[in-house]
Amino acid sequence: MDKQEVRSNLLNIMSNEEQVKIDENLSTYTFTHTGGEADLFVKPQTYEEVGKTVAYANKHQLPLTILGRGSNLIIRDGGIRGIVIHCGCLNQIKCEGETLIAQSGASIIDVSRFALAHALTGLEFACGIPGSVGGALYMNAGAYGGETADVLRGAVVVDTNGSILKLEDHELEMGYRHSAFSQKGYLALEGTFVLKKGNPVEIKQEMDRLTELRELKQPLEYPSCGSVFKRPTGYFAGKLIQDSGLQGTRIGGVEVSMKHAGFMVNVDHGTASDYIRLIRHVQETVKKKFGVNLETEVKIIGEEPNK
Ligand SMILES: Cc1cc2nc3c(=O)[nH]c(=O)nc-3n(C[C@H](O)[C@H](O)[C@H](O)COP(=O)(O)OP(=O)(O)OC[C@H]3O[C@@H](n4cnc5c(N)ncnc54)[C@H](O)[C@@H]3O)c2cc1C
């Protein structure tokens, strides 16, 4: 792949030079502050630009990766080959009666606050989830008993051919940390959330309560990717890790959090390789001690660094 040639082709799709970058450092786009470079990094400003970029990648058989706010990703230190699309410029949120329509690059925390400002209840659970709307749809993000699927009524997506489709909730196949986005490779452009009229004082109280719980339990003072592992059936990942005596274990600059065993925090210039080695170590130890397989919730993508 000739990066300069691909860049100039992609610039024909975009409206300004700044929207396509070569060898962009992705560590500034991840919550762990780790990760290598993207060959091509694209920031579309319209749905059409997204659709055309996907169609271009498809036509030229270039790998395509979608980056949200990078709060559930470990990007290997060798970076990402092909094209990375970042939807951060698509961040509008609007309200139509009891319905909120939010573009994929908007932060789900902002959407939750927007709901509060319009006295709408149903998105309080999302007030501390640091991802984007696109990431929340892809992951079916949830917390404290609520999840995205509870309030999602539809989405506008781009399929792998670059066509823009409007889908209803039943077509989105939302399950535990799973969705049609992960199964069918859809790129989310916007989500429609159906909420209910509520009392703003009560909505705010609930958001404050959940924020307090989060601040009490989670090591928010350090870079991390949230809960590293999915909840194994019948167990809690954090408890298994704690009971394995793994809290405080450090590889390179990354440590199993002392505050919340399900989190791994970047305490001293850790790399993605440190994260991955620590994840494997925790998986092996828990398997040996309890016979339970811990599956990662965090997505690990990209290439190993050249030795
Ligand atoms: C401190 C902390 C606390 C957290 N707490 C929670 C929590 O309580 N509950 C919870 O569920 N998660 C939690 N997370 C994890 C994370 O915030 C969520 O998984 C979030 O939904 C990821 O969104 P993102 O935009 O950061 O996605 P990214 O991390 O950028 O990407 C995650 C996946 O989504 C895909 N994706 C992103 N945008 C799109 C799009 N527009 N279309 C299609 N696919 C897309 C990516 O390709 C990738 O596969 C936490 C993370 C941190 C760091």
Report which of 181, 251, 276, 261 is spatially closest to residue 227, judged by C-alpha positions.
261
Q: How far is the CA of 135 from the centre of ligand 1 (A)?
A: 4
Q: Is 299 in the pocket of ligand 1 (CB under 6 A)?
A: yes
Q: What is the CA 132 to chain-centroid distance, rounded?
A: 7
Catalytic residue among 227, 244, 257, 273: 227
Q: How far is the CA of 5 from the centre of ligand 1 (A)?
A: 32
Q: What is the CA 194 to chain-centroid distance, rounded?
A: 22
Q: Where do runs of H (alpha helix) occur along 35-160?
A: 47-59, 108-117, 133-139, 148-151
- Count CB-CB contacts under 10 A for residue 224: 27
> Best mutation site among 71, 214, 264 for ligand 1, i.e. most ligand atoms within 8 A of its Cβ?
71
Catalytic residue among 7, 69, 76, 177: 177
- Cβ-based neighbours of 133, under 8 Å, separated by 6 or more: 102, 103, 104, 105, 106, 107, 108, 111, 188, 190, 191
Which tens digit of pLDDT belongs to each residue from 293-304? Answer: 999 999 999 999
Largest Cα–Cα separation, the chain:
58
Q: Is 177 a catalytic residue?
A: yes
Confidence (pLDDT) at 142: 93
Q: Is 148 in the pocket of ligand 1 (CB under 6 A)?
A: no
Which tens digit of pLDDT belongs to each residue from 209-256? Answer: 999 999 999 999 999 999 999 999 999 999 999 999 999 999 999 999
The CA-atom distances, in angstroms, between 157 and each of 182, 204, 289 are 12, 31, 43
Confidence (pLDDT) at 179: 82
> Best mutation site among 27, 87, 138, 264 for ligand 1, i.e. most ligand atoms within 8 A of its Cβ?
138
Q: How far is the CA of 12 from the centre of ligand 1 (A)?
A: 30
Q: Tokens for 162? A: 């670059």
pLDDT beneath 50: ranges in the chain = none
Confidence (pLDDT) at 177: 67
Q: Tokens for 270? A: 């850790």
Confidence (pLDDT) at 173: 87
The phi and psi torsions of 195 (rounded to 5 degrees) equal -115, -175
Q: Is 156 in the pocket of ligand 1 (CB under 6 A)?
A: no
Do 23 and 39 meet the contact criterion of CB atoms below 8 Å apart? yes
Report which ligand 1 atom has the smallest distance to the Cα of 87: 41
Q: Is 227 a catalytic residue?
A: yes
